[in-house]
Amino acid sequence: MYDQIKDTELDDVKIVRALEEDIIFGRLAPGARLTEDSLLGRFPVTRHFVRQALVQLEQMGVIIRERNKGAMVRSLTPDEVRQIYDVRELVQRQAALMIPLPAQQPLIDQLLAIHEEHGAHIESGYLRGVHETNDRFHLTLFGASGNKYLVQTIELYMRYSLPVRANSMSDRASLDISHSQHKLMIDMLSGRDNWLLSQLCVDHLQPSKHRYLGLVGS
């Protein structure tokens, strides 16, 4: 895994990317412990880089660290999931309402290109690509709101909800639904109904949330 990360990246960045991928694809389950010694055994780096990586993962909301307990992959309670998604719904709805419609053609073309790449990754089963193009699609779409602070908040809560979102990555039907909804969003950019677009952006969040809550027992 480590060797697949770009050699030009700093050691702590390599570790963060590798561990994030493990969490996304379920190789590290919620609640799994991450000790410095185990990471040193896996990655050919110094303890300094391991500690820096753990700090970054904590800042991203992917892991939690507790005194005398070390680090562990973040596990979300049903109440935490609902609260995180309350915020996601608010900020994504607002961003969609702020997108000037009809949108400029360069934005539509850019989203269509990402959409095509996303679909290709779904077909090939390349889940890292599915994850990355999905995030790029949404950040590009909401970036059209013109409010960088709103987009930064959206990106932050996308990270917070990673355990929830990752749970749907292995379900092909869920991926196909998500992909088709992306195309609907693109189509709506040619119209003038921001309210309809914003509602679709909120509806788009629901399947992964309900799937996760069903598994953890809501």
* Residues listed for the chain: 218
- How buried is 53 (Cβ within 10 angstroms: 0-12 exposed, 13-18 middle, 19+ buried)? buried
In the numeric block, which tokens belong to residue 125?
Answer: 């089963």
Q: Is the pLDDT of residue 54 over 50?
A: yes
Matching residue, tokens 């949404």: 138
Reported as type and span, the H/E element at residue 64 is strand 63-66
Q: Which CATH number fits domain 2-73: 1.20.140.150, 1.10.3720.10, 1.25.40.10, 1.10.10.10?
A: 1.10.10.10
- Tell which residue, 153, 214, 179, 166, has the closest CA to residue 21: 166
Domain positions in the chain: 2-73, 78-216
Residue 31 CA, chain-centre distance (Å), reads 19
Whole-structure pTM value:
0.80
Q: What is the pLDDT of residues 134-186, one digit of tens each?
A: 999 999 999 999 999 999 999 999 988 888 887 777 788 989 999 999 999 99
What's phi and psi for 25, nearest 5 deg? -100, 10
Tell me which CATH homologous superfamily contains domain 78-216. Answer: GntR ligand-binding domain-like (1.20.120.530)
In the numeric block, which tokens belong to residue 129?
Answer: 């690509």
Confidence tier at 3 by pLDDT (50, 70, 90):
very low
